[in-house]
Structure 1
Amino acid sequence: MTSFDLAGTSRPWVVFVPQGSSEVREQLTELSAKGGRVHRFDARDLMTVPGTYRALARTLRFPGYFGENWDAVVDCLDDLCDAVTGGVGIAGVVRDADPLLETEHFPLFVSVLCQGADRANSAVDLDGDPLDRPAVAEHFVLEFRAFDPEGIAGRIAQKDLVVTVGDGFVGAALDPAEWH
């Protein structure tokens, strides 16, 4: 049994798994069956910060006024349109994510994905007031050919994240003590 649910609104927001995981395949199918959307990214497009901005904006249909900075990514991830989410949620999937581990921006990229997903998966705003929309399931899956859970966990460890090493996955979510 896994400790992540790609079709639900619970943590972790970013999941690192071995490529070809049957559990991930089943959960993506479940998300699609509920009306959610699976969006795929090419890891080669995420190797630079500008490339990451372009890939996210193109694939997730960020608005034309997207500011191409990390704060704007968080804002856009929190406010994806129904055409992108199906009104239910998304899973962003990156295959062959291995080379991303070596990029300078990788830990920040993971934190930003967690920040945007944390906000999207919540039915309240940052002040705790109810939003005028329901929570939307938003998760990101990075698939690795050479899956090294301890190496991945060590690379993304930072004070604002809770990193969990489970059976066949690594999960990342915002640390509530730092963010809430």
Structure 2
Amino acid sequence: MGWWADGPMDVTGVSAPWVVCVPHGAAEVQRQLSALEARGGRVHHFDARDLTTEQGIHGSFAEVLQFPAYFGRNWDALVDCLGDLCGAVTGGGVGIAGVIRDADRLLEAEFFPLFVSVLCQGADRANASVDLDGLPLDRPALAEHFVLEFRDFDPGAIELRIRQPELAVTVGDGFVGAALDPEEWR
């Protein structure tokens, strides 16, 4: 997996990509998730069976990531909550990785490209030390990444489903990564 050997992907740090699609059980991802936990960060697991509808996504994310009671259960509210997670969920501000197992179940869902974009938007906010206007935040950047594990890993099919103008999508040996395209978002 040349991508990690070259250093651009690290689920323990604040560098893009924010969403990484990998084969189920990818050894380097597992090593990085363990390293995040060893530093005090948190790894949260999601079952794709709970994410097959928009309502299921909102409910599961609200429960697993302990969103506040006023969470609006819509895409914009999901971005807001992902960008401002509580300390208990992040290991006191160390960072999180959300792991979605059996992501194959989501690939053909109509909302899948939007879901990936929303994850990127929320993680981009969390990983930043400045707000959308470029002003310093009153908190340090927080490592936040989402790992989508596929049993039938087809990089070409995944890339086709998530490619959209606002995302920078990288395809390599054993991965598909996505982050916000800085030309579109900054």
With the shorter chain as reference, the TM-score category is: over 0.9
Match of 1:41 in 2: 46
1:59-78 matched pairs, under 5 angstroms:
59-78=64-83
Which sections of structure 2, spanning at least 5 residues, go unmatched? none
Alignment partner of 2:31 out of 22, 26, 32: 26
Which sections of structure 1, spanning at least 5 residues, go unmatched? none
Query: Hey, what's the Cα distance between the residues in 2 that align with 1:141 and 1:40?
Result: 10
Q: 1:166: Cα distance to partner?
A: 1.6
- The TM-score, its normalising length taken from structure 1, stands at 0.99
Alignment partner of 2:180 out of 171, 174, 178: 174
SS in 1 for 2:137: coil
Query: Hey, what's the Cα distance between the residues in 2 that align with 1:68 and 1:30?
Result: 32
SS in 1 for 2:107: helix
Alignment partner of 2:162 out of 156, 161, 164: 156
Query: Hey, what's the Cα distance between the residues in 1 that align with 2:172 and 2:12?
Result: 18
Query: Hey, what's the Cα distance between the residues in 2 that align with 1:45 and 1:102?
Result: 15
SS in 2 for 1:10: coil
Cα-to-partner distance string for 1:68-110 (whole Å, 9 max, x where unaligned): 1100000000110010001111000011110100101100000
Structure 1 segments (4+ residues) deviating >3 Å: none
Q: 1:41: Cα distance to partner?
A: 0.1
CA RMSD of aligned residues (A): 0.6
Q: Among all aligned residue pairs of Structure 1 and Structure 2, give the percentage whose two residues are the same amino acid.
A: 70
1:83 aligns with 2:91: no
1:1-20 matched pairs, under 5 angstroms:
1=2, 2=4, 3-20=8-25
Match of 1:92 in 2: 98
- The TM-score, its normalising length taken from structure 2, stands at 0.96
Q: 1:31: Cα distance to partner?
A: 0.5
